[in-house]
């Protein structure tokens, strides 16, 4: 697999979309304080840029541990056990906005949401930078989506292929 020279979304496209997304989220939670939870590692750049477009009081935290390891058949997914939330990040009673890099089959996100509900947030919504809707295996609708993408392995802007390409400033893919 090597990086394609094709750019799926440029830095300018991303910045423009994030301004709109920021307004959407600001409107949705108007007058409220939110807690933004980024899923590491993939969402680290998206979260940094998105939060700066949201005009609301907020706390920011991260969750790790969601390793969805796939077998070759892409059917077996093994998750690490409990969620590791940032220390001093409160979920209970908050309006929680979960920020993901990409929603593919939805298995990872479904698991995450189920785990987060155990901490009893007042509300839980999902914002994903990318969505591959035709790949969905579980019934899950994200509340906010940056872009829909084709069924390719997308890299850049935080997303990796075997640990590489996270620092590409645009969105591309490997083939
Ligand atoms: P799901 O459980 O199939 O929805 O997988 C979601 C997770 O798989 C994401 O959080 C990513 O970490 C990873 N993933 C899925 N598709 C891609 C891709 O195209 N590029 C990089 N990572 C991906
Ligand atoms: Mg991820």
Per-residue pLDDT, 27:
98
Say whether pLDDT at 63 is over 50: yes
Please tell me the distance between residue 40's alpha carbon and the centre of ligand 2 in angstroms.
7
Per-residue pLDDT, 81:
52
Per-residue pLDDT, 51:
98
- In whole numbers, what is the pLDDT of the chain averaged over residues? 91
Model-level pTM greater than 0.85?
Answer: yes
Answer yes or no: 104 catalytic: yes
Per-residue pLDDT, 65:
57
- Find the catalytic residue in 101, 104, 131, 160: 104
43, 67, 79, 108: which to mutate for ligand 1, most atoms within 8 A of CB? 108
Q: Give CA–CA dist 52/48, Å, rounded.
A: 7
Per-residue pLDDT, 66:
57
**Can you read off the two tokens belonging to residue 108?**
């990872």
| Average of per-residue pLDDT across 133-141 | 91
């Amino acid at each position: 697999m090597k990086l394609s020279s094709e750019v799926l979304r440029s830095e300018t496209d991303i910045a423009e979309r994030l301004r709109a997304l920021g307004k959407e989220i600001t409107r949705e939670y108007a007058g409220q304080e939110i807690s933004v939870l980024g899923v590491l590692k993939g969402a680290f750049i998206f979260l940094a840029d998105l939060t700066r477009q949201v005009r609301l009081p907020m706390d920011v935290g991260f969750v790790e541990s969601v390793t969805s390891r796939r077998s070759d058949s892409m059917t077996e997914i093994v998750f690490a056990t409990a969620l590791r939330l940032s220390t001093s990040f409160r979920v209970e009673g908050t309006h929680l906005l979960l920020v993901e890099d990409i929603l593919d089959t939805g298995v990872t996100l479904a698991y995450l949401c189920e785990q987060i509900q155990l901490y009893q947030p007042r509300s839980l919504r999902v914002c994903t930078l990318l969505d591959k809707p035709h790949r969905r295996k579980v019934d899950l609708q994200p509340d906010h989506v940056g872009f829909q993408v084709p069924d390719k392995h997308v890299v850049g802007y935080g997303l990796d292929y075997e640990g590489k390409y996270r620092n590409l400033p645009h969105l591309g893919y490997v083939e």
